[in-house]
Amino acid sequence: MRIQVAATRVSKASRDSIWKAVEDLESWPKWFDSTSKNYMNSIKIVSREGNSVVCDEDEVGNGLHVKRREKMTFYPKEKVEGEVIEGPERGSWSWNFAETPQGTRLDLNMDVEPKSLMFKIGFRINGKKVLQALADNYNNRLSDYAEANP
């Protein structure tokens, strides 16, 4: 069962401020409140080659603890694309950043398919709702962090 979601938010932060937060991967956990249902515990860079980074993530989504390895490719100030290399799901995502008169438009698109039995069961029950909440939360947390740390 494959699930696709899209989330959009217009942030008051400049595209430069958004990009500054995004390119500092290891600061991503600072964006999140660990009392929420969706947050990032840690992200560690494993390797770097050109504009691509492989990293290990430790994340909680709707109360479910997940560890995965991802490859992220950065296109400065325009977008980041990610692909799950190892973890309980297959998937990819793209996060686009466009200047607007109000600030920066954040467009996050996720395409996920569970591999593990636990994920398959969970996704059948409420996977689209959980993934949508995760995508919305990422946009909200990035926007709030970039607005507070220009």
**Residue found by looking up tokens 């950043």 in the block:** 97
Q: What is the pLDDT along the chain (150 residues), one digit of tens a residue?
A: 889 999 999 999 999 999 999 999 988 888 877 666 667 888 999 999 999 999 999 987 767 788 999 999 999 999 999 999 999 889 999 999 999 999 999 999 999 998 877 777 777 777 888 889 889 989 999 999 999 998
Helix (H, G, I), strand (E, B) or coil at 133: helix
Count up the domains in the chain and report the number.
Answer: 1
Q: What is the CATH number of the domain that holds 108?
A: 3.30.530.20
Domain range enclosing 19: 3-148
> 137 with 38: CB under 8 angstroms?
yes
**Residue found by looking up tokens 């770097």 in the block:** 48
Token duo for residue 71: 């490859």
HSE (side-chain half, CA atoms, 13 Å) at 37: 11
Q: Is the pTM of this model over 0.85?
A: yes
| SS3 annotation, 3-46 | EEEEEEEEECCCHHHHHHHHHCHHHHHHHCCCCCCEEEEEEEEE
Contacts of 115 (CB under 8 A, 6+ apart): 87, 88, 89, 90
